[in-house]
Amino acid sequence: MKKRRITVFCAVLLAMLAMTTANTKAAAKTGVWGNKKKEVQTQGAFTYYIHPSINGKEAWIYKI
């Protein structure tokens, strides 16, 4: 029983580490986003609210 608890704890810790690493990579690119410019785009039944990047090649979707 104690081994199982340790295994589950280590798995949860590893999952949290993986999520933190992914968030750090996205946060490192925050300098490329033009936060003051917002756009709304509609494709079919979906409306996307986005912050386009400064170079115009990427977009940060913040609401669908």
The pLDDT, as a whole number, for residue 18 is 77
The pLDDT, as a whole number, for residue 28 is 58
- Phi and psi at 51, nearest 5°, equal -110, 110
State the residue for tokens 């990047």. 53
Identify the H or E element spanning 60: strand 59-63
Burial 21-51 (b: 16+ CB within 10 A, else e): eeeeeeeeeeeeeeeeeeeeeeeeeeeeebb
State the pTM of this model.
0.42
Q: For every one of its 64 residues, what pLDDT tens digit does the chain have, with 9 covering 90 and above?
A: 888 999 999 999 888 887 776 655 555 566 666 667 788 888 899 998 888 877 777 777 787 7
The pLDDT, as a whole number, for residue 22 is 62
Long-range (24+ apart) CB contacts under 8 A made by 55-58 are 58/32
